[in-house]
Amino acid sequence: MHHFTYELQQALKLAARCLNTTNRKWLLGGSCSLILQGVEILCPPRDIDLYADSDSVRTLHKAIVQWSVDEQALNRVGLYSSILSHYELNEVQIELVGDFRVSSNTFEYKVEVEDMLQSDASEIELEGVQMSLTPLSHELIFNLLRERADRYEAIATAMRGERARHLPLLEKLIRTHHLDDNHIKQIAVLLEAPSVLSYMSKLS
């Protein structure tokens, strides 16, 4: 399994300590979150991805603004929309992503930290600094939507080992977002969980 470089670990610890002073909710996502949850990924993490809701992201930005390399701004590229800002800490790149949405003509998915993901987020302590990780159910859906087979297959492998733990949030995310039937079929196959098919709009 890949491990964090010393520089990345120190940057994550320092950023998290500053973010935690705001008492706002945020989640560590991306490859860092996956590694910390035992997912086998192909490449070691090169940066840090942080997620928050729209009403928290500006406050969180102020907590780490000393390392910012750009202004916080609405960003729309392809399928993705977010309030985005970038930072560099000890030569490690950090992204703070607020109100993150992935959408197309056939699906729509929004990252909702406080109302949806926080309650199922795994909490860890890194050298005395606490942080919460994006749930694997979210990571599975997100990587399916962006067609990252290398990621979603590895995530599904990890989830199958604790399927009963992950399914409640996964099913809630499917119920409350608009996914197309092909994505739901893929999820059912990847997790060997036929119960997920009941959320399809049209059974075939």
Question: Over its length of 204 residues, how does the chain's per-residue pLDDT go in tens digits?
Answer: 457 899 999 999 999 999 999 999 999 999 999 999 999 998 889 899 999 999 999 999 999 999 999 999 999 999 999 999 999 998 999 999 999 999 998 899 999 999 999 999 999 999 999 999 999 999 999 999 999 999 999 999 999 999 999 999 999 999 999 899 999 999 999 999 999 999 998 544
- Helix 149-160 vs helix 181-191: crossing angle, to nearest 10: 50
Nearest to 110 by CA among 48, 190, 26, 53: 53
| Residue 115 belongs to some domain of the structure | yes
| Residue 169 belongs to some domain of the structure | yes
| DSSP designation for 165 | H
| Residue 1 belongs to some domain of the structure | no
Tokens 């492998």 appear where?
A: 157
pLDDT tens digit sequence for 184-196: 999 999 999 999 9
| Residue 78 belongs to some domain of the structure | yes
| Residue 181 belongs to some domain of the structure | yes
| Residue 73 belongs to some domain of the structure | yes
CATH number at residue 68: 3.30.460.40
pTM beyond 0.75: the answer is: yes
What would the two tokens of residue 144 be? 């399916």
pLDDT tens digit sequence for 3-47: 789 999 999 999 999 999 999 999 999 999 999 999 999 888 989
| Residue 12 belongs to some domain of the structure | yes
Degrees, nearest 5: CA angle 192-196-197: 100
| Residue 204 belongs to some domain of the structure | no
What would the two tokens of residue 82 be? 């977010």
What is the span of the domain harbouring residue 48? 6-199
Number of domains in the chain: 1
pLDDT of residue 88: 98
